[in-house]
Chain A
Amino acid sequence: MSSYILKYSRDERVKYISHLDFVRLFHRAVRRADIPFVFSQGFNPHPIMTVAQPLSVGVTSDCEYMKVGFDGNFDEAELCKGLNGAMPPGYEIKAAKKINGKEIDLTKINRAEYIVEAEYEGSIDDIKEFLANKELVVMKKTKSGEKESDIRPYIYDLKIIDRQEGTVMLDMTIAVGSIYNLKPETVLKAMEKYLPEFRPGFFAAHRKSMTIDGKEIL
């Protein structure tokens, strides 16, 4: 058995696929590619795979990661090619790396960069004014329900990269992962609260990168 880290993207065509559906879809792709999975032991054996920080439905990404166990040794480039031939259009396996032990620990992923396009009413000028707040307290979903939380320490970067009539394009780097998980919509909610002129509406998000302390994984 060998463990591999796979980096993959998903585009507009498949962005509504839920995490669970993705897991089933990937199992099938591996069967089609004729790569032997390692199965878990137990009552109902299933292929071993872990997706790091599953994406929300509706979000596209250049940088998803998963760890899978395959039975045998595969050339990394061949593995990508085989899987890409078997995935539905819209997904691309961009890189694969065989790992020993915990040399890459996907559970340590703690930062993600998003491009967020948001419709809004009102106006938005200077994002610095927003970031100058000492704290940004908003209601945030946690495992135990909705709670107030100061998200300011978990916004590492936030800038406006484009502005059209009624829509603004933001580039944000924020915390993800098990220690603190922030979503783009929560940042928008804080902007709405702390920028009185800004009333965001519908938005679309794209995950551009995920890192461990700013360090690329693959």
Chain B
Amino acid sequence: MITLQDKILSKVTKPTRYTGGELNAVLKDPKSVDVRFGFCFADTYEIAMSHLGLKILYHSLNNRSDTWCERVFAPWTDMEDEMRAHGMRLFALESGDEVTHFDMLGFTLQYELCYSNIVNMLNLAGIPPLASERGEEYPIICGGGPCAYNAEPVADFFDFLMMGEGEDLINEVTDEYARWKKNGKKDKRDYLEAIAKIDGVYVPSFYDVEYNADGTVKSVVPNNPNAKPRIKKRIMRDFDGAYTPETIIVPFGEVVHDRVMLEIMRGCLRGCRFCQAGYIYRPQRERSPQRLLGIADSLLSCSGYDEISLSSLSSSDYGGLRELTDGLLDMTEQKKIGLSLPSLRIDNFSLELMEKVQKVRKTGITFAPEAGTQRLRDVINKNITEEDILSSTKLLFEGGWTSVKLYFMIGLPTETNEDVEGIAELAQKVLGVYFGIPKEERAKNINITVSTSSFVPKPFTAFQWAAQNSREELIEKQDLLKSSIKSKRIRYNWHDNKTSYLEGVFARGDRRLSRVILRAVEKGCKFDGWGEHFRFDLWMETFEELGIDPDFYNLRERSYEEVLPWDHIDIGVTKLFLMKENEKAKAAETTPHCREKCSGCGAAVWKTGVCTEK
């Protein structure tokens, strides 16, 4: 039988993005469940399937007998065109069913540039994007993930948002949903009022935002007695004992992270001042090596993957690293499984480890000094010195590595031309280290890559008040750096500043941006994170048309007195601490990491992890 699906899939690239049916995907009888949940990721299959949070929440929800959680991803544009041409709606991968009348759709907000895709996906599902226009016949649309901490630019699209770690929370809101549905799903408001009482739940429509004459936020005040004045994020206090799936879906086509990912810890104790993840996931918590080895064994044997990778923000800070890697090496050597170790500081221990892991191939090593001078590294509290970098690269070159990538940001607060030139000087010094090693002791063909991205100030960081560099400033700095690099052995890659500009607008945006997103999608904006689809001109045209000045959001420095659009969200880390960090940054003073000395950031209220280490 020739089906419409066949005709469509035969025309699109990578059809297995849309067919589902992968090993370990969960199939259920829709009649046997109360809640049909669509876990939505507003990007392609390959990106979505590399996301650890999806894997955790998907299996956690599917462990419930009353719920079937399926995956819903953004179709690539060729597929979207076919779907629209044939009147086919957005569908879930497991069942192939339209999601238009699912019970709940949960979007993970991983980065700002996926916002247009959220609206586009809802359009494609035949669901009104504005929460206020959706009745009980449509799914409850919820969201979570890092951008949910300031989801104001997309707040109008969501019935509710979840702050923080979702393992427990998602089950609590699903319980309430099942109860509401049993009682006849009368008024969406009843459901939202019931969950507004749960810690970590933010119902945007229960808050009124008022603005000052200058356009800044005057106040964010609850308009519903069930809504809390401040919404506190959720975390898994017992991270070692927290749920983690022992099974994993194995994609047919290659995805970005096509391997087992072992989440060894959550949070980071370093306190880099630009890093949102470093603040929002506090406090740093670890999982025991014994438990991790058990999880690794289950995931490898149920998937057949031949590669496993540690996942964390800074693996070197993981207390049981030696015990864990010894155990993993026993497992992987025997089964010819590759072990990859990202986010490691380079020292003798890690080099020895890399020698063991990469017996033959010496792939490239990436360092992230982030800034070109010690002064600026102190400003951002990146506690890595030039000496660290030079001694590490010496160890690497002596060990036979010849490909080094150095990653920096430009546009950091207080940055001067000297800091930008410092990037080129540092790369030159690394090259000098290589040539300082006698010819017979080093491998041939050194190649150093310098990459810069443009700094985007994010909410809940020490730099949340800072002005982002304009595109002109960034281009000048890129040009300065280009002309400062003298050696042909140093390559320079830079990141497009137009996407950083838009990212900056949404990162610290407020509710008035929802209509910009709606309008931009009408004009055809989607897949903004993909160079070939990003239409900066259409975005700027939309801002202009609606009389909204994007520079107000990204290029403006805020005062400490200003009410920030995300001030009603409580991540544990206090605003006062972030202010102090910002002041220390201006004075180029560093702050020790959590194990050295507690700096009283506020995350200790959770009484767990590094905050309770003796």
Give the interface of A toward B (CB within 8 A).
13-14, 16-18, 21, 24-25, 27-32, 34, 39, 43-45, 57-58, 86-90, 117, 119, 167, 202-204
Contact = CB atoms under 8 A, between A and B. Distances in A.
Contacts of B23: 28, 87-89
Contacts of B300: 31
Contacts of A167: 2
15 contacts: A13-B19, A14-B19, A16-B15, A21-B16, A21-B254, A24-B254, A28-B305, A31-B304, A31-B306, A32-B301, A44-B361, A88-B250, A90-B21, A117-B2, A202-B10
B259 to A, nearest CB: 11
A203 to B, nearest CB: 8
A87 to B, nearest CB: 8
B93 to A, nearest CB: 12
B16 A17 contact: yes
Contact of B15 (A25, A39, A57): A57
Contact of B6 (A34, A39, A86, A204): A204
Given A31-B335, A39-B336, A88-B22, A58 B304 contact: no
A29 B250 CA distance: 11
Given A16-B15, A39-B336, A202-B10, A30 B2 contact: no
Chain B, interface size category, equals: 20 to 34
A18 B335 CA distance: 26
B252 interface: yes
Interface string B287-321: 00000000000001111111000000000000000
A89 B250 CA distance: 12
B600 interface: no
A35 to B, nearest CB: 11
Contacts of B19: 13-14, 16
Nearest to A90: B21
B306 A27 contact: yes
B360 A43 contact: yes
B253 A21 contact: yes
Contacts of B2: 117, 119, 167, 202-204
Contacts of A27: 304, 306
B604 interface: no
Nearest to A16: B15
Contact of B252 (A21, A32, A45): A21
B54 interface: no
A21 B300 CA distance: 19
B9 interface: yes
B250 A28 contact: yes
A206 B22 CA distance: 22
A137 B9 CA distance: 30
Nearest to A202: B7
A13 to B, nearest CB: 5
A202 B6 CA distance: 9
Q: Which 7 A-B pairs have the closest CB atoms?
A: A28-B304, A31-B304, A16-B15, A32-B304, A88-B23, A13-B21, A17-B252
A36 to B, nearest CB: 9
A61 B22 CA distance: 19
Contacts of A32: 301-304
A44 B303 CA distance: 22
Contacts of B305: 28, 31
Contacts of A204: 1-2, 6
A141 B361 CA distance: 38
A31 B308 CA distance: 14
Interface of A is mostly: mixed
Interface of B: 1-2, 6-7, 9-10, 15-16, 19, 21-23, 250, 252-254, 300-306, 335-336, 360-361
Contacts of A88: 21-23, 250, 252
A43 B359 CA distance: 10
Contacts of A21: 16, 252-254
Nearest to B250: A28
Contacts of A57: 15
Contact of A25 (B252, B302, B335, B361): B252
A25 B303 CA distance: 10
A88 B27 CA distance: 13
Contact of A28 (B21, B303, B360): B303
Contacts of A117: 1-2
A32 B301 CA distance: 5
Given A31-B300, A202-B2, 6 more contacts: A16-B15, A17-B252, A25-B252, A31-B306, A39-B336, A43-B360
Contacts of B304: 27-32, 86
Contacts of B303: 28, 32
Contacts of A25: 250, 252
A17 B14 CA distance: 9
A58 B253 CA distance: 15
A21 B14 CA distance: 11
Nearest to B11: A202
Interface centre among A29, A90, A203, A204, by most B CB within 10 Å? A204
A14 to B, nearest CB: 7
Contacts of A31: 300-301, 304-306, 335
A43 B361 CA distance: 8
Contacts of A203: 2
Interface centre among A39, A45, A88 (most CB of B within 10 A): A88
Nearest to B337: A31
Contacts of B6: 58, 202, 204
A57 B23 CA distance: 19
Nearest to A34: B301
Contacts of A87: 23
B453 to A, nearest CB: 32
Nearest to B7: A202
A142 B301 CA distance: 42
A18 B17 CA distance: 12
Contacts of B250: 25, 28, 88
Nearest to B251: A21
Contacts of B335: 31
Contacts of B9: 16, 58
B76 to A, nearest CB: 14
A44 B10 CA distance: 34
B306 A16 contact: no
B123 to A, nearest CB: 26
Contacts of B16: 16-18, 21
A189 B233 CA distance: 63
A200 to B, nearest CB: 12
Contacts of A58: 6, 9-10, 15
Contacts of A34: 301
A21 B254 CA distance: 8
Contact of A14 (B1, B21, B361): B21
A202 B16 CA distance: 20
Contacts of A43: 360
A39 B23 CA distance: 24
A45 B335 CA distance: 13
Nearest to A203: B2
A32 B1 CA distance: 33
B252 A28 contact: no
A32 B302 CA distance: 6
Nearest to B20: A13
